[in-house]
Amino acid sequence: MNENIITVENLKKYFPIKSGILQKTIGNVKAVDDVSFSIRKAQTFGLVGESGCGKTTIGRTILRLTEPTDGKCIIDGKDIFALKKSQLRPLRTKMQIVFQDPYSSLDPRMPVGEIIGEAVREHNLVSKSDYRDYIVNIMQSCELRPYHIDRYPHEFSGGQRQRICIARALAVNPDLIVLDEPVSALDVSIQAQIINLLKELQAKRGLTFLFISHDLSVVEYISEVVAVMYLGSIVEMASKKELFKHTMHPYSKALLSAVPVPNPDIKMDRVILQGDIPSPANPPQGCKFHTRCPDCMEMCKTKIPEYKDYGSGHYCACHLYNK
């Protein structure tokens, strides 16, 4: 259980900014800037942060849906960033993704059975005689009915479409599934059903999840380890229990203070951040968060804080703890 399914080292993803008739590169948007983490087998790793911090880019890059700028991603003992497309193909079944919008990620011209089974046929995972039964079994494990196999995406509700996307990911029997905000487009009651389905599938199949979200209450429920991102970098990472009880970074504290509590008698000590999010094309010097940090010191404006372990696997990048 301590085996790492995936190890990401110093991942960078920069998008070039081009200008002029010749489209010369005049700068870079640093969407992901030197990120490292690892995920153990059968673990759920939560990645949180506000919109635009680089969460989705990490998920897409480690699957090579987007090519990285620099870094390593070790899966099954191989650095997939160094592999050619032909060498990467056998590993595609080991890693899958569930996108945020279930409708736009489904081909409207294909029936559900074909959507779920397309990759199964492409990789020759089951025989032709067993194909239909295999797809039906996958659908039933995701709480879809056998008669849904010949229907089209527009005939389903949002929750059912997301179940189709999960079934498509499960069909190739992966080790790692990247869940890119899989419930943010759904009603609250349906969100609970999908989250419980994911936990049930994980327990039965030993799946490993990278769960990307901006909803800390959902992340707290499903994740075992949580990493907080800000402007392309991880600023704090710890086990769920440690991070929610002993929050260190000022940005993490601000995020947690914004989580609503369903009790009118509890008064939240809300942290209101001042200013706007800096541009990832021109991040501030020193600590990236210093322009909005309520605890900003003079050294924060010039010196990049060291990202280190403060005990019990609790990592943080903040000058407040380097005194």
CB 315 within 8 A of CB 309: yes
pLDDT digits (tens, 9 = 90+) for 9-39: 999 999 999 988 888 888 899 999 999 999 9
* Residue with the two structure tokens 């193909």: 89
Q: How many CA atoms lie within 13 A of 225 on its CB side?
A: 21
CB 253 within 8 A of CB 294: no
Give dist(CA 273, CA 246) in Å, integer: 20
pLDDT tens digits, the chain, 323 residues: what are they? 458 999 999 999 999 999 888 888 888 999 999 999 999 999 999 999 988 899 999 999 999 999 999 999 999 889 999 999 999 998 999 999 999 888 899 999 999 999 999 999 999 999 999 999 999 999 999 999 999 999 999 999 989 999 999 999 999 999 999 999 998 878 888 899 999 999 999 999 999 999 999 888 889 999 999 999 999 999 999 999 999 999 999 999 998 887 777 767 777 677 778 878 888 888 899 999 999 998 899 999 999 999 999 988 999 999 998 76
Give dist(CA 256, CA 162) in Å, integer: 27
CA quadruple 102, 106, 108, 111: dihedral sign: negative
CB 11 within 8 A of CB 61: yes
Q: What is the DSSP letter of 231?
A: T
pLDDT digits (tens, 9 = 90+) for 164-173: 999 999 999 9
Across the chain, mean pLDDT equals 91
